[in-house]
């Protein structure tokens, strides 16, 4: 599977890359929604994993555009709530088109469980 990860935190992208490549997946990385949109249009990923709070183009906007351009491709939305975690963005991400959500912090087993579930949907 070709999996696109959009997150502004390099350590999160690295965790996803290590976990997913160990399981044989091809991983593409984007620092924000702008890069994710460009990569998705060029590479047609099988799954999008996107953070919600990112610079330049945040995750909710990325989810809406991705579902319009790539209908049927699973999306896993991830979030730790940002600096001022007064809003839980993950339910909103589901309403906007995310297939699954994953709350930070998480580890390799939760990543693989979410990806396996997304593949099976």
For the chain, domains (ranges, CATH) are 2-120 (3.40.50.2300)
Phi, psi of 97 (to 5 degrees): 130, -5
Quick one: which of 83, 65, 84 has its CA closest to 75?
A: 65
| Residue 105: per-residue pLDDT | 87
Distance CA(100)–CA(115), nearest Å, equals: 9
| Residue 89: per-residue pLDDT | 87
Alpha helices (H) in 4-121, listed in sequence order: 10-22, 33-43, 59-69, 89-96, 108-120
Quick one: which of 1, 2, 7, 4 has its CA closest to 104?
A: 7
Per-residue pLDDT of the chain (121 residues; tens, 9 = 90+): 999 999 999 999 999 999 999 999 999 999 999 999 999 999 999 999 999 999 999 999 999 999 999 999 999 999 986 555 546 789 999 999 999 999 988 899 999 999 999 989 8
């Amino acid at each position: 599977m070709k999996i696109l990860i959009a997150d502004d935190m390099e350590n999160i992208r690295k965790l996803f890359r290590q976990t997913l490549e160990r399981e044989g997946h091809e991983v593409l990385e984007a620092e924000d929604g702008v890069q994710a949109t460009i990569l998705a249009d060029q590479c047609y990923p099988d799954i999008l994993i996107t953070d919600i709070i990112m610079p330049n183009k945040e995750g909710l906007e990325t989810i809406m555009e991705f579902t319009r351009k790539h209908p049927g491709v699973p999306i896993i939305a991830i979030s730790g709530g940002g600096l001022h975690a007064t809003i839980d963005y993950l339910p909103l991400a589901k309403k906007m088109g995310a297939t699954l959500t994953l709350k930070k912090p998480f580890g390799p087993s939760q990543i693989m469980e979410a990806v396996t579930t997304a593949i099976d949907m």
